Chains A and B, each alone.
Chain A
């Protein structure tokens, strides 16, 4: 899909990142970003989103802000990346300072820890569902499915360190993907 004909407005980008940032507990922004950016607004394709997600995970730094920088850069370059980053951080910055000022009152509220735990678990459910949706696309291509399962097992179940796992799987996955999508540059017939 080509980029949107109308450039995405900086205010719309800021607003989305602000809301997602403010509502993210326990790291659940990814599924929400995907819904808004890919399905609701059509700013990125599915492929662009997931490859950006992998990039955001592999690069050092905070993964959620890396993802916002990736989306912002893709849509509006340097200004977009800055706006997305600031949008994502404004809400949490204000809330965390307010919470620190009122910590002892807050922790004494009945039900507060339960609400936080429930929100985090729901966010995880959203991530599972998104990962599974992506896996369904991979059924059509067996190597993709194997790479997906291997990544999940190595990181999620075995808890092996990210970098060596990705360093081994990425070249294999790219090699397996090489002949798949024909482009105008291709001369050989698969």
Chain B
């Protein structure tokens, strides 16, 4: 049974779900080790290629595991790999959210919620900085990010889709001129 590729996918990926602390970026190193060195499902070059695809497509960067499942066992493999990554952490999060919401209205719940709020806001700004660093788009990335801040201050109701299109247009225009 341990030779079944689908079982192997679950054995490799499911534990990573609960190891991804502070975001999915922490799973890339162990995932690479397991899929390239141990199970040899993909070559190192293929791994980087799949990583790049997951980065440029919408959704969490961790869709990389979906692609590895697809390489191993086609569509079913992709499905199994996706579920193996998202189910364990989602069950944990569900339990935490349910416990959390059950005690809504009590004094300590209000205090914890008030205390967590500035931490959430600080993490959000820090998360934006980390994405810019990871994307490695230099001054242009920062310029577009702050331009969007300015536009949202001026027009708070602007639709997100429009803002994303503005960002893409600026990048296209600048890259066309400067290269």
Q: Which residues of A are in contact with B by a Cβ distance under 8 Å?
A: 21-28, 30-32, 35, 47-48, 50-57, 59-66, 69-70, 73-74, 77-78, 81, 85, 88-89, 91-93, 95-97, 99-100, 103, 106-107, 111-132, 134-135, 138, 144-145, 147-152, 154-157, 161-163, 166, 169-170, 173-178, 180-181, 183, 185-186
26 contacts between A and B (CB under 8 A): A22-B58, A47-B114, A51-B100, A53-B120, A53-B124, A57-B123, A62-B62, A65-B93, A92-B59, A93-B63, A111-B176, A116-B56, A121-B144, A124-B148, A132-B149, A138-B118, A148-B122, A151-B119, A163-B22, A166-B119, A173-B116, A177-B111, A177-B115, A178-B111, A180-B111, A186-B107
Known: A50-B116, A61-B92, A118-B168. A97 touches B60 (CB 8 A): no
- Cβ-based interface call for B47 (8 A): no
Known: A69-B97, A81-B90, A122-B148. A95 touches B125 (CB 8 A): no
8 Å CB interface, B21-65 against A? 21-24, 49-50, 52-63
Contact A117 B141 (CB under 8 A): yes
Contact B148 A173 (CB under 8 A): no
Give the number of residues in B that approach A within 8 Å (Cβ atoms).
94
Cα–Cα, bound, A78→B97 (Å): 10
Query: What 8 additional pairs, Cβ within 8 angstroms, besides A62-B23, A124-B141, A156-B125?
Result: A25-B58, A92-B58, A97-B78, A112-B56, A117-B141, A123-B167, A129-B152, A183-B105
Partner of B135, one of A81, A92, A117: A117
B139 CB to closest chain A CB (Å) equals 11
Cα–Cα, bound, A31→B127 (Å): 12
Cα–Cα, bound, A25→B90 (Å): 21
- Cβ-based interface call for B8 (8 A): no
Contact B147 A174 (CB under 8 A): no
Q: Which residues of B are in contact with A by a Cβ distance under 8 Å?
A: 17-24, 49-50, 52-63, 66-67, 70, 75, 78, 82, 85-86, 88-90, 92-94, 96-98, 100-101, 105-107, 110-132, 134-135, 137, 140-142, 144-149, 152-153, 160-161, 163-164, 166-172, 175-176
Query: DSSP majority for the A interface?
Result: helix
Contacts of A183 in B (CB 8 A): 105-107, 110
A32 CB to closest chain B CB (Å) equals 5
A99 CB to closest chain B CB (Å) equals 5
Contacts of B163 in A (CB 8 A): 122, 125-126
Contact A54 B123 (CB under 8 A): yes
Contacts of B144 in A (CB 8 A): 118, 121-122, 125
Contacts of A186 in B (CB 8 A): 107
Partner of A123, one of B50, B52, B100, B131: B131
B19 CB to closest chain A CB (Å) equals 7
Partner of B149, one of A25, A107, A128: A128
Cα–Cα, bound, A177→B148 (Å): 32
Contact A59 B175 (CB under 8 A): no
